[in-house]
Every structure is written in C-alpha cells, then in structure tokens.
Amino acid sequence: MERFRQSLMLLVLLAVAAAIFPNFGSSPDLCFTAGSVTYQLAPNADFPDFRVRIDNGMPNPDLRVRVVDSAELADFSLVDDVGTPTRNVCATAGDLRTVKIVKPTDKSDVTINVGREIHESDFTLFVHSNRVTHFDAAALFALVQHVQTNHRVAAYR
C-alpha cells in the first residue's frame, strides 16, 4: 500500500511538471521535491549542483534502475497526460538544486545503469510520456533516491 501511495504521489507531482513543456529537451523546468529540497533537471546548466552519469557498461554503479512496462510493477511512475498547471512547478520555499545528465566519460556525483534487463535493480520505473525520456526520469529519481539513502543533505559545491 505504501509503495502504491509513493508511486501515486510521484506520478501527480511529475505529471504536472512534465505537462508544462511540449519539448523536454529545451525545458529546464522538470522538478521533483523531496523533503525541503527541490531537484530541477537542467540540461544546459554549466555548473549543476549534481551530475548524473548513465553508464550501462559500469559493473558497479551507484544505482541500478529497471524500466518496466506497467505502473503496477513500478516503484516510481511518471505519466504526463494532464492539463497545464497554473503555477511554476519549480517554485520552492526550500533549497533548489540543479541536476544535469552528463556523458559517460564525464565526472559525476551519481552513476546509474538504466535498462529493462537489470535483474538486481535498486528500483523500478514506469514512464509514459511524449516529453520526458526514461533516462531523464531515471536520473532524477536515482539522484533523489541516492541522496536519501545516504542520508546526505544536498549541498552546494
């Protein structure tokens, strides 16, 4: 029941954020709030607070994300077929941290594997979107999960 509740809350939050922009590649405003920290995907940030590397060739990544075909099988779900919100989804009273997906050869704060065949996954993800790729959603969820698992407070460099 708790898993369903978490998935539903994430679904609503991210669906609203994802629905704002028809082209995610040019949009920096996909956000997710966990506690007092809001994480914003910022693909064009020169100095992001966090860098996430997707490297499926790495034998021991920080996290493994398995993409599934059904929301019922997922720990987290993102679906963006809702109406346009009336406010800025990245507005926050807490801390705002930027997140950028970097190349496999770049330095990163978190390295993840993303795929359908990962048997020892840390969490499962369902994405149904015309705007957000499963890599983008996986990077955002993985960073939040990694920060919470390590009991770290996101801090500026």
Model pLDDT for residues 29-42, shown as the tens digit of each residue: 678 888 888 888 88
For 14-28, write each residue's pLDDT tens digit.
444 444 333 334 344
Sheet with 50-54: strands ordered across:
30-34, 37-41, 95-102, 50-54, 110-115, 63-67, 123-128, 76-79
Q: Are the C-beta atoms of 31 and 38 separated by less than 8 Å?
A: yes
Q: How many CB atoms lie within 10 A of CB 154?
A: 21
- Asked if residue 147 has pLDDT above 50, the reply is yes
- Report the C-alpha gap between 47 and 100 in whole angstroms: 9
Average pLDDT over residues 63-80: 90
For 95-137, write each residue's pLDDT tens digit.
889 999 999 899 999 999 999 987 788 899 999 887 778 898 8
Q: Position of tokens 């790729």? A: 133
Residue 110 in tokens = 């978190």
Average pLDDT over residues 3-11: 50
- Report the C-alpha gap between 71 and 7 in whole angstroms: 8
Residue 79 in tokens = 């679906």
Sequence spans of domains, the chain: 2-149
